[in-house]
């Protein structure tokens, strides 16, 4: 009988420790890096595919970057007329207008950057020249997504 009571007390102690560890995990543990071996063990433990694991990592990263009001500026920018920035995806023969060599060069380098480029595509201009409106146009345009899908493979 004494052995049974001692075993129950030991199990109770272990259960208490386990509950404390679970509570610590619930409160959040910050991991700045994880070894490939630990990642593989986690994947096996959670029994999820590499694709699902990467999706979870991506979602956590994006969630960590979010902040209240992050879409405020985007929503405050007026939507441009559908043809205002069409030149960035369509050449003169497609739009019926002559955009000049500067627009052609910008169009070609921008589309190339979207589909296969690296680094940052820098857009600059005077106050009120339409930089934010251009960004909103690009964010909402189907061609942007198509080119980015080429880049992402």
Residue 41 has pLDDT above 70, yes or no: yes
CB 150 within 8 A of CB 115: yes
Q: Tell me: the pLDDT tens digits for 96-152?
A: 555 678 888 999 999 999 998 888 999 999 999 999 999 999 999 999 999 999 988
SS (H, E, C) 101-135: HHHHHHHHHHHHHHHHCCCCCCCCCCCCCCHHHHH
Comparing CA positions, the residue from 108, 113, 110 lying closest to residue 92 is: 108
């Amino acid at each position: 009988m004494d052995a049974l009571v001692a075993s129950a007390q030991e199990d109770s102690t272990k259960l208490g420790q386990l509950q404390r560890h679970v509570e610590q995990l619930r409160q959040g543990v910050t991991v700045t890096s994880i070894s490939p071996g630990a990642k593989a063990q986690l994947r096996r433990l959670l029994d999820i595919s590499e694709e699902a694991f990467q999706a979870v990592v991506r979602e956590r990263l994006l969630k960590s970057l979010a902040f209240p009001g992050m879409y405020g500026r985007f929503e405050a920018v007026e939507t441009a007329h559908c043809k205002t920035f069409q030149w960035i995806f369509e050449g003169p023969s497609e739009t019926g207008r002559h955009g000049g060599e500067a627009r052609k060069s910008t169009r070609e380098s921008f589309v190339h950057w979207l589909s296969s480029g690296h680094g940052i595509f820098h857009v600059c201009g005077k106050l009120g020249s339409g930089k934010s409106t251009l960004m909103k146009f690009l964010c909402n345009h189907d061609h942007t997504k198509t080119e980015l899908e080429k880049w992402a493979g």
